[in-house]
C-alpha cells in the first residue's frame, strides 16, 4: 500500500457494501467520522470481574478492563485491517518484540525457523 497513504482505508473493494473504515449502520454515536483514539489505560468495571462494554464490537465480546488486553481504538484498527485484507481476524501488536513473542509461542518443541543475525531481543 506504499504511496497511497490513507486512501486505501477509504476505498470500497470487490463491490462490497460499506467502506473499509466502517460498517454501514455502525456509526459512532458522537458523530465522529473517524474512530476516536482511546487513551484510557484502565476501564471502570461494572462489578469486580465484570468488564465494561462487552457488546462493543471492537471488544470482540470481551469488554474492556485494561488497555493491554484491549481497547476500542485497537479493536477498530484490527477489524478494519481484517476487512482490508479480506481476513476473518487481525491481531495488532505495540512492538516487534511482542509480535515476535506471539509467533514464537505458536511453535512446538522441535520446530525450526529462519532468522536474520541482527534481530533485536
60-97 pLDDT tens trace = 888 899 888 888 899 989 998 999 988 988 999 888 88
Q: How confident is the model at residue 27 (pLDDT cuts 50, 70, 90)?
A: low
Mean of the per-residue pLDDT values of the chain: 78
User: Does the pLDDT at position 4 exceed 70?
Assistant: no
| Residue-wise burial string across 19-33, b where 16 or more C-beta atoms lie within 10 A, e elsewhere | ebbbeeeeeeeeeee
Indicate if the pLDDT at residue 8 is higher than 70.
no
Amino acid at each position: 500500500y506504499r504511496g497511497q497513504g490513507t486512501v486505501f482505508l477509504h476505498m470500497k473493494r470487490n463491490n462490497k457494501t460499506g467502506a473499509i473504515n466502517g460498517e454501514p449502520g455502525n456509526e459512532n454515536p458522537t458523530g465522529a467520522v473517524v474512530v476516536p483514539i482511546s487513551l484510557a489505560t484502565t476501564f471502570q468495571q461494572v462489578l469486580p470481574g465484570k468488564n465494561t462494554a462487552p457488546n462493543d464490537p471492537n471488544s470482540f465480546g470481551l469488554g474492556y478492563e485494561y488497555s493491554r488486553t484491549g481497547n476500542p481504538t485497537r479493536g477498530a484498527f484490527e477489524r478494519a485491517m481484517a476487512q482490508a485484507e479480506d481476513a476473518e481476524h487481525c491481531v495488532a501488536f505495540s512492538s516487534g518484540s511482542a509480535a515476535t513473542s506471539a509467533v514464537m509461542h505458536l511453535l512446538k518443541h522441535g520446530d525450526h525457523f529462519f532468522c536474520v543475525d541482527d534481530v533485536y531481543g
